[in-house]
Amino acid sequence: MKKAFTMAEVLITLGIIGIVAAMTFPQLIKNYQAKVYETAFKKAYSNLSKAYLMTQQELGVTNLRKAYATYDEVNKVYPQSKVLRDTFYKNLGVVNIAENYIVTNYNKSVTFYTGNSKDSNDDYEYTGAPRPLRILPDGSSVGVVINSSQIFFDVDTNGPYQKPNRYGFDIFTFAVLDDQDVIKPLQMSKLYTEEELEDAKWPTVAGSPCSVKSNQQANGVGCSYYAMNDINPDDNKSGYWKNLPK
């Protein structure tokens, strides 16, 4: 007589498979999405760096920060900033300009709009609101601002029309901060307490936050360093991309 599984055995087996699938699939989906974010992040950084080198060559200078991010104390402006921005955007191949859109910070504690109008070329205070409104051919978007004799680059790696539009996930900040004149990822320098923020000059961006513990508006502005090196900012023993906050 041939042996066969009973209906009960089949149902139990299917139930076990279902439980395993229910436990496994969400993590697989999460890991896949993390890899998509990471790949887009690295591509965006590569595009920025290439365009920056092209801008150096086109403008014929070896140090763009010194030449185009020097503050005019008399007139209270950065006189050469528009030349730098326009040339950089051209080398990136900007195809369109988006309207302001809603973004969230790293731990979703604050929701706010991007930081400037699509027609603005003026310099303004660096409040931490990202400005990636110039859309590139691959659908990503970028914005440039010069402040404190430094050059900041905000990138939305999948553009304003694709979710999640969230700091540390698809929105990142890079900067040229010193005489090396190289675009670098920003890193959190200090996690401020609520009491310390009360006395901070720029509380939204103080310390370039990147932590699930921060409720600052710009929480995530300092995440690009950790994303680049795949380090969890709240636990340096684990990776960045597979441990993104919910």
Burial of 138 (0-12, 13-18, 19+ CB in 10 A): middle
Q: pTM for this structure? A: 0.85
Give the model's pLDDT for residue 13. 65
The DSSP bridge pattern shows strands 184-185 and 96-97 to be unpaired
Q: Which residues pair with 146 in a beta bridge?
A: 151
Please list, residue by residue across 224-235, b when 16 or more beta carbons sit within 10 angstroms of its beta carbon and e when fewer do: bbbbbeebbbbe
Cβ proximity of 224 and 231 under 8 Å: no
Q: At what angle do helices 7-59 and 81-92 cross, to 10 degrees?
A: 130
For residue 132, give the nearest of 149, 147, 119, 115 by alpha carbon: 115
Give the model's pLDDT for residue 73. 74
Cβ proximity of 52 and 89 under 8 Å: no
Q: Which residues pair with 102 in a beta bridge?
A: 113
Quick check: helix, strand or coil at residue 96?
strand
Question: pLDDT tens digits, residue range 14-52?
Answer: 666 666 555 654 666 678 888 999 999 999 999 999 999
Residues in the chain: 246
Quick check: helix, strand or coil at residue 213?
coil
* Sequential pLDDT tens for the chain (246 residues): 555 657 666 567 666 666 655 565 466 667 888 899 999 999 999 999 999 999 999 999 989 998 888 877 766 677 778 889 999 999 999 999 999 999 999 999 999 988 765 544 444 445 567 889 999 999 999 999 888 889 999 999 999 999 999 999 999 999 999 989 999 999 999 999 999 999 998 899 999 999 999 999 999 999 999 999 999 999 988 999 999 999
Rounded distance between C-alpha atoms, residue 121 and residue 243, angstroms: 37
Question: pLDDT tens digits, residue range 55-66?
Answer: 999 999 989 998
Give the model's pLDDT for residue 236. 87
Give the model's pLDDT for residue 174. 96
Rounded distance between C-alpha atoms, residue 173 and residue 158, angstroms: 14
Give the model's pLDDT for residue 70. 82
